[in-house]
Structure 1
Amino acid sequence: MRFQNLMFLAGASALALSNVANASDLTAAEAVQEARRAAAERTAATEGQEIVVTATRSAQPLADAPATMSVVTGTELRRRPVQDLAEALENEPGIVINGIGMTRRGISIRGMSNEHLLTLIDGRRINDALANMAHADFDLGWVPSVAIERIEVVRGPLSALYGSEALAGVVNVITRRPSERLEASGLGLLGLRDGKGGDTGQLSALIGGSITPSLGVVAWGEYRHRRRTQSPLSPRESELEAREALSGSIIGWWEPAQGHRIEIGQAAIDDDRARDTVTTGARPVYYEYQDHITRAQTHGSYTGSVGWGELQARAYRSVLERVNERDQNQTPTQPTKATDTVFDGRLTVNVFAGNRLTVGGEHRHETLRDSTVNTAGKADVNHNALFVQDEWALRDGVSLTLGSRFDHHPAYGWQTSPRAYLVVEPIEGLKLRGGVGKAFKAPSLKQLSLGYITVAAGGRFIITGNPDLEPETNTAYELGGTYYGRSWNLGATLFQNDLDGLVQTNCVEFCGVRGRERRAYVNVDEARVRGIEVSGQVTPLPALSLSASYTYVEPRDRSKDRELAERPNHSANVKLAWQVADATEFNVRGRYTGKQTIYQADVPVRLDDYNLWSVDVSHDLTRQLTLKLGVDNLFKKRLAESSALYSFAEPGRVFFAGMGANF
């Protein structure tokens, strides 16, 4: 479906829905009920009573979790256009959006690289695309906002539970499971950029609920589109790539007895990207670069809850394929297929009052098919792990969580990731927390392959693998506290990450000789990332909520005694939600990104700070229909106008309008 057709369809749908709205106005009683529900949700969030599961794999209030966490609700996300997880989380504490190349963006938590962030969907891993594909952001767009219940963000390593890749933290997308009745939801949003290109469109729907008291099903689908934009410095090149994606999922569940649940599901996504670019040779050639990405995940699980504890067993398989095309006789990247097959399970036992013990294991078989990885064009590895976690309620207001994970990798043997975290409530409402944890990340199959070779930087050099690489490790420390008052909270956290053996590419042969230079993956860096994070939220009136956060980061490359690149020292976020009337809500979001250092030919360059503001309004036309209007990047900030060295682009001001439906 072309974008113009989507615009016509969404416009016609909005007109039809408006006519329905005029025929069935929202009653005063319904409006008051909805306003009270929204106010109750805001109060629960402010007072730390939201229920989360990611920090320990068991449900508990956010204020009691042994980690620094925040939650983004699906209701928040459905008020504005959200293309992927990076846009969904850009206003969360400690998070900065950075560039990963080819106009794509990644998520950095507290100055840590996006490569060190583990992404989960309902607690399941998805393919780590970035590990085996350069400039990959394909892990960020699995679930449309209409299907999201909430997103839980853990800032700090969780390798003790989740293993490799969780050095910086974990993002867990919790999807919706309508159960009380059959529900249907729809969302159509159009974004019109103030300039040429960059227009966006989203059309998504969800239907699901209980078929019988013990059987249920939920299905969702989405079409998502963004047009490419031109670079202001080179109009024949793209500043932002075009994106077009079609996704769908279906999940069914059966509860044969109370406390027992069996679930199976299938998700599939087709994701196309396109951009105009140019070669770097003496005679530049302008050409179109296209990536065609298909992803799928098949999953099944059993969860049983009884008086003494809980048992969970899961199996799932994720597949990601990428095909590259280029015109003007340019050589494309070879096709790549990455497959992950996972079997995992855990047993949680309430040993005695105040003690909960969890033990579990995981087997993961990772396969990569790529002609560049070795002469056989295929590499694979088995990851096996055991983990244990013990949660102690030592006395009223004091809890201690101890845990460790033992991962086995064929190249490194057993790796241990221990963690200890203490939460103390010395007075009612004050939560003091602190902990220490160790995490590791194994190099990817490509990085470890002796035969791996690829041409990079437009032919300037080649990159080869290195089977002698050691894992990257992180030892993290955290100490902080939060006071939860009546309708307000305020907290601060000190953090430090000591990283060893970061994997980078270094020149090892014919350095500086174009076309002959060879670079290899090596462990070179020792780094330290430390700082402070401050956040607060207040709900002075049931209809009004204000939240803000500030993060200072000191990112240091200790090997070279200089600052790490693309880690802003200061960042801040602010959000205001105002229930203007029973049926109308107004929101303001602001994001500040401080100065940061990048390196041009190994010479440090300091980039200017910037801020971005957005506003939106939602109005319930009826109990079922909601009109949404807003502006992203209100003051039309364009980073390229400040410097061409920013690693990603902001699209400028975008006006959006849409309609949400719930039945």
Structure 2
Amino acid sequence: MKVSSCLFNSLLLSAGVGLLAPLAQAGEASEEVKPAPLELDTAFVTATGGATDLKDAPASVSVITREEIERQPVYDLNTLLRRVPGVTGGFGPVGEQSKIKLRGLDDKYTLILVDGKRVGSSADLSYRRDLARQDLNWISPNMIERIEIVRGPMSSLYGSDAMGGVINIITRKVSRTWTGSASTHITVPKDSDRGQTTQYSANASGPLTESLGLRLGANVTRRAADEVEARRDAQGDFMYDDGAGGSKNQSVNALLDWQINEEQSLSFEAVHGVERSWASKKTFGDWGDTIGVSFGPSRLTRDSYILSHTGDWSFGTTKLDAYLNKYRNDLDMGKANSEEKIVEGSLNLPFELLVDQRLTLGGQWKREELTNTNTLGTVPVDYQGTPVSGSTLKGDYSAAFIEDELFLLDNLSLTLGNRFDHSDKYGNHNSPRAYVVYHPHPDWTVRGGVSKGFRAPSLKEGSAGAATESGGRGCGSLRPLGYLTGSCWMAGNPNLMPETSTNKEIGLSFDHDGWEAGLTYFHTDFTDKIEYGPLGQYQGRWWTMLENVDKARTRGWEGTARVPLGDSVTWRTNATYMLESRNLSTGEDLISSPKLSAFSALDWQINDRLSTELSAQHVGKQRGLGNDFVQSYTTYDLTANLALTKWLTLNGGVQNLMDKDLRDGSTNFYVPGRAFFAGATTYF
């Protein structure tokens, strides 16, 4: 792909305006030019059954604010989430490295919510789960109010899939007056062989009547495919994975909110999204051109329908949700779709019995259905020689949970909780937790606790008829049995047990007059880890099968700091140091879990109109594919945000300012080079 000089110069000019224009006005009297903010709900809601202040949250939590989201082009939420302590991944548009992980655990152990409701999963609709994209970007960024991240198991509230933690995307409420915004962004890489990205989004909300409100949103993001000349590795062989495919994401969202009376509200929401992917193009010296690998589906569709009721009664508050999540992957041959029906509710009761308490009772019913003609029932026999037929799987799940927050003293609280999960296939499972928050001084907080986590096998993982054919990378465990080269079949297992974990953590934090600091130690023991184990040859095929064979342990430190350097400059930083992130059964490090990761930023509010940020992201040495290791590296970003008028904001800057490039022949780990971006948002 070639970038015209006109486009490139226009981009630099736009970024320059964002960086320099307000400096000429520095001596002028400033006026308030930013639009009036919408009414916000600032209480943290993800770590407990009821809303609580961030300082009192019974968990290790972080919040990404609306202001942080507006500072830079957010084509995918990974670029924001990787700034949070305990979070790794989120680099590049493709592969395992692009996925967000919490405290060294794979992305499948992180539960993704929007306004407290599951978004479902499209992972098993791809040919292989590890090639699927993470379901983080089905919503327009300018509809997001904040993102709440809980690190550590939250199965006591949310059940399966929350072993590593929870990412809860909170959207903006319907405004009491008609307001909205529209944004456009473009990012152009310095290297002409890398694809550029464009994004257009808009949202509006307001009242239809005194009791009825409407919110609408839409987003289109397109990344062009790379067109690269393949490089050679240290052995002189071509690097086939050097280059990212293209993608186009489209989504629309509509929310109708009815304020029935002062105590009750009812809302209906509909979401539709389409995600497309296509391969990169590579040139292999004298061999000529070829089409590279495309990560992600050629066309993935998501539809979601949500009915919600909330009540604020004299005795407490209630919430009831009923929703349907549907995914469809249009395959070249066959079909793949999934459906998730959920009904869940909670009752929040404040009362006094010896001490003030807040009791939350809740329950959930869920039905899942998966069809994939490419990976379910695709072979005549399973690994035992039993005939296989059918490409559809179903499962029913139910749960009940209880949580009690006891406010023992004005500065001491204890949270106790347990969730009871049941499925016909995997039986019963309890996930308890206990957490203490203590304020020895108004500026100091001590918190710590113990929690259990679990993840039930997915429908595909728990089926003997689920067989994915690997082209070779999934077959390495067969070599001791005589396997040399070629494909193998990777089978599910109906005898799997749920994976479980026990997390222990303790932390200390300080917060006074803009100064903040915190340090947390965490230790997670992970048992019954599900991995592919070697079986051998059956019916002329090489087989591996999922087994509960592994144990893992992750432990480390998370630290944060915020220091005001005068009235207009703030330095903030965080770091995660993994003391251990190891598969105890094999002795190997967990894939894509760096020893040290850190984020640091200088924020300068130059005047009422202009703010800038210089940030650095460090990723320590980590294991890549196979036995490869990716060396540590650091990238720098420079961004600026200019409130030009009350109705127009510009932003621009440079990503990977020093043009760090890992394409040196030692690894195929994808780190995009230097790129220039510019954008504009108009408010109405």
- Shorter-chain TM range is 0.7 to 0.9
Look up the match of 1:200: 197
Q: Deviations over 1:442-471 (max 9, x none)?
A: 111111111111211265211111101111
TM-superposed deviation, 1:300: 0.8
564, 572, 577: which one aligns with 2:590: 564
Which residue pairs with 2:613 in the alignment?
Answer: 587
Answer whether contact 2:551 2:584 (CA < 8 A) is retained: yes
Q: Equivalences for 1:434-513 in 2 at 5 Å? A: 434-457=448-471, 460-510=487-537
- The whole-number CA distance in structure 2 between the counterparts of 1:443 and 1:31 is 57
CA offset at residue 599 of structure 1?
A: 6.0
2-structure distance, mates of 1:431, 1:104: 34
Residue aligning to 1:523: 548
Task: With the length of structure 1 as denominator, give the TM-score of the two structures.
Answer: 0.88
CA distance in 2, matches of 1:178, 1:532: 39
Whether the 8 Å contact between 1:153 and 1:171 is mirrored in structure 2 is yes
Contact 2:115–2:171 (8 Å) recurs in 1: yes
1:96 matched to 2:99? The reply is no
Q: How many residues align?
A: 624
Q: In structure 1, what residue type is equivalent to 2:608?
A: D
The gaps in structure 2 that reach 5 residues or longer are: 232-237, 378-388, 473-485
CA deviations over 1:335-370 (Å, ceiling 9, x no partner): 310111100010011122620000010001010011
1:652 aligns with 2:673: yes
Bigger CA drift: 439-448 or 456-465? 456-465
Does the 8 A contact of 1:392 with 1:400 survive in 2?
yes
Q: Percent identity?
A: 31
- Do the aligned residues in 2 keep the contact of 1:594 with 1:610 (CA within 8 Å)? yes
Distance 1:570 1:254, change over 3 A: same
State which of 169, 173, 176 in structure 2 corresponds to 1:180. 176
Name the CA distance, whole Å, in 1 between partners of 2:94 and 2:259.
Answer: 46
Match of 1:110 in 2: 103
1:323 Cα offset (Å): 2.0
Answer yes or no: is the 8 Å Cα contact 1:354–1:394 preserved in 2.
yes
**Is 2:403 aligned against 1:403?**
no
Q: Establish whether residue 533 from structure 1 lines up as the match of residue 558 from structure 2.
A: yes
Equivalent AA in structure 2 for residue 335 of structure 1: K
- Which residue is 2:574 aligned to? 549
Equivalent pair of 2:99/2:134 in contact (CA under 8 Å): no
Q: Does 1:152 align with 2:148?
A: yes
Q: CA deviation at 1:373?
A: 1.8
Residues 316 and 28 (structure 1 numbering): CA distance in 2 closer, same or farther, change over 3 Å? farther
SS in 2 for 1:581: coil
The corresponding residue for 2:479 is none
- Partner residue of 1:433 out of 443, 447, 471: 447
- TM-score with structure 2 setting the length: 0.85
CA contact (8 A) 1:534 1:551 kept: yes
Residue of structure 1 equivalent to 2:481: none
CA contact (8 A) 2:33 2:609 kept: no
Do the aligned partners of residues 500 and 285 (structure 1) sit closer, same or farther apart at CA in structure 2, a change above 3 Å counting? farther
Shift of 1:179: 1.9
| Shift, 1:424, TM fit | 0.4
Q: Distance in 2 between matches of 1:636 and 1:623?
A: 35
Cα deviation, 1:86-137, whole Å, max 9, x if unaligned, reads 1221211111116897477211112121110000001000112235542222
1:301-343 deviation per Cα after TM superposition (whole angstroms, max 9, x unaligned): 0000123210111101001111234xxxxxx6x4310111100
- Distance in 1, matches of 2:149 and 2:423, equals 27
Equivalences for residues 31-42 of structure 1 within 5 A: 31-32=31-32, 34=34
Partner of 1:252: 256
Cα contact 2:651–2:680 (8 A) shared by 1:
yes
2:320 alignment partner in structure 1: 313
1:534 positional shift: 0.8
Structure 1 residue aligned with 2:478: none
- What secondary structure sits across from 2:500 in the alignment? strand
DSSP-derived class of the 1:324 partner: coil
Match of 1:213 among 210, 213, 227: 210
2: CA distance between counterparts of 1:79 and 1:630?
Answer: 10
What is the aligned partner in structure 1 of residue 630 from structure 2? 607
- Do the aligned partners of 1:404 and 1:417 also contact (CA within 8 Å) in 2? yes
Change (3 A) 1:596 1:510: same
Q: Secondary structure at the match of 2:493?
A: coil
Q: Is 2:272 the counterpart of 1:272?
A: no
Deviation, structure 1 residue 140: 1.4
Tell me which moved more, 549-558 or 132-141.
132-141
Q: Would you say the 8 A contact 2:96–2:592 is kept in 1?
A: no
Instruction: Look up the equivalent residue of 1:557 and give its one-letter code.
Output: N
Q: Tell me if structure 2 keeps the 8 A contact 1:98–1:566.
A: no
- Per-residue CA deviations over 1:524-572 (Å, capped at 9, x if unaligned) read 1111100111111123444332210111111122112332232111111
Q: Which runs of 5+ in 1 are unaligned?
A: 42-48, 326-331
Q: What SS does structure 1 have at the residue aligned with 2:79? A: helix
Distance 1:454-1:561 versus aligned 2 partners, 3 A rule: closer
Answering whether residue 350 of structure 2 is matched by residue 350 of structure 1, we say yes
CA shift at 1:58, angstroms?
A: 2.0
**How far apart in 1 are the matches of 2:35 and 2:95?**
44
Determine helix, strand or coil for the equivalent of 2:300. strand
- 1:130 is matched with 123
Describe the superposition over 1:374-406 as per-residue Cα deviations: whole angstroms up to 9, x where unpaired: 322111101110000000100110001110101
Distance in 2, matches of 1:623 and 1:57, equals: 39
* 1:607 Cα offset (Å): 2.5
CA RMSD of aligned residues (A): 3.1
Instruction: Give the match's secondary structure for 2:279.
Output: strand
